Chains A and B, each alone.
Chain A
Amino acid sequence: MSEKSVLVIGAGVTGIQAALDVANQGIKTYLVEKTPSVGGHMAQLDKTFPTLDCSACILTPKMVDVARHPNIELLTYSEVKEVSGAAGDFTVKIETKPRYIDATKCTGCGHCALHCPVEVLNDFDENIGVRRAIYVPFPQAVPLVYTIDMDNCIECELCKNICEAEAVNFDQESEEIEVNVGSIILATGYDLFDATKLKNYGYGSYDNVLSSLEFERLLSASGPAGGHVFRLSDGKIPRRIAFLQCVGSRDTEHGMPYCSRVCCMYAIKNAILAKDHIHGGCETTIFYIDVRAFGKGFEEFYQNSQIRFGVKFVRGKVGEIAEDVDTNNLIVRVEDTETGQLFEDEFDMVVLSSGLVPSQGSAEINKILNLPIDQYGFFEELNRISPVDTKIEGVYMAGVCESVKDIPDGVGQASAAAMRASLKAI
């Protein structure tokens, strides 16, 4: 094995791929993830475009690979605290937060959670579902080790008494390690644009206006609805769903001016899945400006959505959403630019195709690294033909933290960052 190592920060699909591509070359890799499990946003998705394959199915083998790889040291529930040095010789301090569970003893059996009396909104389910104060974020979590959310734990110690493996330890403390690496890869991902900023859409006020990730969780077989889509206001099945594009994207006034690149495709995918999951039929309409189905297989997927699935498309950016207070139905007001008509239409549910913005995690790591970022918060690349090099030598980037992209592009870029990083670790 080579003498030097590489540090990958962020273990969504991009970070996982980068770590695997470095480790597969025989180079020691540290993979740091601040949440209790690897997987990132991709683990929240039901199916992915344009192939409609199951997201968890294709992600979990890689998650398991990364946990088992002899050259990867996986540090979950951990954060980078300090970075010093230069390319070829960085010194990094990493803090692992206490789970209050001994990871070497916990077998992930879940008995503790069954008895925990505290219910908390589940972040992984976009706060639609609930979890206990002792939890794993999702059933296929890696590592499959429980964590106690101390902010909500009432310290009744029921879990400790129940655990047959004696894994609960309320005295556990955070641990800090110092590692020396030759290069660093940032894969800190994205957050969803906060649509409460768009007052005209009623997100956050109207129960049946959802963000795209909330809708994904409803669609997901392992989500709070078991894959059955229902309205949050009354639990009824929606029969008419509107998908609004460019929410917070291509928006110079209230959002981000850039295009978020994946929303056209994920809306088409979600419209198809809505029709597939909802028995008895469901009408889906996508309100768009341009349908950006540009990647491999995307145009075919778009054509199919109309021909095979009957997804409707209306060219017009929705101006306003109003709510019928009796039914909690939504009235969408839009100009159909193809006919020039202004009209109103009623829907049971509205899904906002919110854009992707640089994550909180990116901002946090940048307080330590001080990398040049563009006006939106994405890390700047060195030049046009060095798309994964940041402006600090030895620090590379991949995935949405560089700029918005879909999973195939992110995974490809992760391998690119691995190539660059490996040159500083041999």
Chain B
Amino acid sequence: MEEEPRIGVFICNCGINIGGVVNVEEVAEYATTLPNVVVSRSSLYTCSDRGQGMIKDDIDEFKLNRVVVASCSPRMHEPTFRKVVEEKGLNKYVFEQANLREHVSWVHSKQPEEATEKAKDLVRMAVAKARLLESLPQHLVDVKGEALVIGGGISGLTAAKSIADRGFKVHLVEKTPNFGGKMAQLYKVYPTFDDPQELLNPLVENIMAHPNIVPYLSAEIADIEGYIGNYRAIIREQTEEKEIEFGTIIVATGFNAYDPTGEFNYGKHQNILTILELHQLMKADGPTQGNLVTPAEGKPPRSIALISCVGSRQNENTVPEGKKPNVYCSRVCCTGMIATSMEIKEKASDADIFVLYRDLRTHGKGHEELFSEFRQTGSTMIRYTDDLLPMVSITQGAEYPLSVTSYDSLSGLNVEIPVDLVVLATGMIPDDSASNIASKLHITMSADGFFQELHPKLAPLDSVTDGVYLAGTAQGPKDVPDSVSQSLGAAAKACAPMALGQVEVESTISVIDEDFCTGCGVCQGSCEFSAIVFEERPEGKRVSKVIEALCKGCGTCGSSCPSAAITMLHFKDAQLDAMVKAALSRSPGG
């Protein structure tokens, strides 16, 4: 049975902030004339201990079941007053606040009469809504204390270890036969010239022996479903399939190196390499035992050119036919290229090195200092421009197998350099598995193709779906220390709901009335959070259903439904309608 609303109205003076303009007594008096208002008072500072105490006393004395406070902005004190009513056993959603300060006294300070009338209108509106407010249950979703980490490169490894150290079980899934990812393929890590294996080995050993980590190699995710705290997935490890349940997910699918086929004659001559390929050559266990020799001739290179921004900072004019330009900067290549040049100089001290760049982005910790060191090596730097890319030609029968021509914007000259070796500083692109993972997990990609974070500053590690976090280069190009930082951070995000064992999801959510729903799916198309799905009903009927844990309560589905089947809790059509009627009401009844 519906209870009769018994509303208490409390008008605040806020010192003289409101009271100095609005006739607060008059407004409080006026409120008593509104239906269902059983008590109406004014106070000096409603948010103060004294003010809060007054509300609590009145809830008791007048058996209030709805409370309206007319004071400052709800963005300021709504949580404060919600707590007050909760302390008295009322649901926090039966509280409504009217803004008489930021929206009245502070902006109409020279018009006290009009301000008082407006205050009355706003109080009448708040009371109209309060009459129709309902208690809403707190939505708590259990969170299983297990995590899935997708990707076993440095990011996945770091995240997995942190979560496991924190005490939660981790399923670490890697699609290749080894952990280590692209970092393991590097010759060195810069600018400290560390051996990546030395950094990775202890971490991998720790993980293989960790009691809380279940590693899966040569494995992929066959299927996944669920929502935060309650996921289920099937992991296919070669031929075996295993079903697992877990609460949170870390996406650490890494990157792929850009394939420059079709540019700079890559693929047409053995001596035109990507920077990763060069690194393979320089490794002690590589095909030439770490000796730097040209692939075609097997001799030490006399002259080498390195070209930056291959596959990055492209525009419509510079990208090959049929390819979509990668506008973004890959962030790590400049430093990688400079450091690699120094490695080359170390291995082939007589070689002439030419670095062709656009802007030199050695921005990280210690990177600029490395660049200063590089400039002491006597290498030549050539600055080319956005639209005039260097050209690599294969010479026939000349002394040097390759030739690089470029415009140098600093000298204004066109240069032609005979070289033995061309190294292309290729950028990063998202890993192949990324779009598949995106659709399985309902997470989105940014314009650059990497996974999109919920907010670039407020939530750079959260994906748009609760419970799914982003780590490492899967989210965007970055180097090893930044990947590690981000992975630790993503682990912290995942640990929060798992540590608490439950997570509160929005109460003011969307509710679909199945009787009215025709299963048209328009609501699903309008939901950014993939919170609405189809469900089958008897006799082949299909309806839309809200996944409560994913609904954020924005109301976009509600306003799109052609069958008026959707109710937005706490912002119902009837409630908003009542507020508008109250605002435009010509008589005090409201």
Contacts and interface: CB of A to CB of B under 8 A. Distances in A.
Contact, chains A and B (beta carbon distance below 8 A): yes
Interface of A: 13, 21-22, 24-26, 48, 50-51, 53, 58, 61-62, 68, 104-105, 107, 109-111, 164-165, 250, 252, 257-259, 261, 290-300, 303, 315, 337-340, 378, 381, 383-388, 402-404, 407-409, 411-420, 422-423, 426
Nearest to B386: A303
B485 A258 contact: no
Nearest to A164: B15
B436 interface: no
B162 interface: yes
B461 A415 contact: yes
Contact of B489 (A164, A383, A385, A413): A413
A308 to B, nearest CB: 14
A345 B312 CA distance: 34
A407 B460 CA distance: 10
Interface of B: 14-17, 44-45, 47-49, 79, 154, 158, 162, 165-167, 189, 192, 194, 199, 203, 312-313, 315, 327-329, 331, 359-369, 372, 409-412, 446-448, 450, 455-458, 460-461, 475-476, 480-482, 484-493, 495-496, 499-500
Given A293-B359, A378-B365, A407-B457, 5 more contacts: A109-B14, A111-B17, A257-B368, A259-B368, A384-B480
Contacts of A385: 154, 158, 199, 203, 480-481, 484
Given A51-B456, A412-B461, A418-B489, A290 B162 contact: no
B328 A296 contact: yes
A378 B364 CA distance: 13
Given A68-B79, A109-B14, A416 B328 contact: no
A412 to B, nearest CB: 5
Given A415-B489, A415-B492, A293 B455 contact: no
Give 7 nearest A-B pairs by CB, closest first: A415-B489, A416-B488, A419-B492, A403-B365, A24-B496, A290-B359, A259-B368
Contact of B458 (A58, A384, A404): A58
Contacts of A402: 365
A423 B488 contact: no
A371 to B, nearest CB: 16
B166 A412 contact: no
A257 B328 contact: no
Q: Is the interface of A mostly helix, strand, loop or mixed?
A: loop
A165 B48 contact: yes
Nearest to B334: A294
Contact of B192 (A50, A291, A384, A411): A384
B476 A296 contact: yes
Given A385-B199, A412-B460, A416-B488, A165 B15 contact: yes
Contacts of A111: 15-17
Given A293-B329, A412-B489, A338 B409 contact: yes
B17 A21 contact: no
Nearest to B83: A68
Contacts of B493: 21, 415
A408 B489 contact: no
Given A165-B45, A403-B365, A294 B331 contact: yes
Most chain A CB within a 10 A radius of its CB, from B359, B447, B484, B500: B359
Contacts of B47: 107
B189 A384 contact: yes
A22 B492 CA distance: 8
Contact of B166 (A258, A409, A426): A426
A305 B456 CA distance: 19
A51 B119 CA distance: 37
A408 B457 contact: yes
A21 to B, nearest CB: 5
24 contacts: A25-B499, A62-B458, A105-B48, A109-B17, A111-B15, A258-B365, A259-B368, A294-B329, A297-B448, A298-B329, A299-B327, A303-B327, A340-B412, A378-B365, A384-B194, A385-B481, A411-B458, A412-B482, A413-B489, A416-B484, A416-B485, A417-B488, A419-B495, A422-B492
B489 A416 contact: yes
B391 to A, nearest CB: 21
Contacts of B189: 384
Nearest to B462: A415
Nearest to B503: A24
Given A295-B331, A419-B162, A164 B492 contact: no
Contacts of A164: 15-16, 44
Nearest to B312: A299
Nearest to A415: B489
Contacts of A340: 410-412
A261 B446 contact: no
Nearest to A409: B482
A79 B14 CA distance: 32
Contacts of A378: 365
A294 B363 CA distance: 8
Nearest to B501: A26
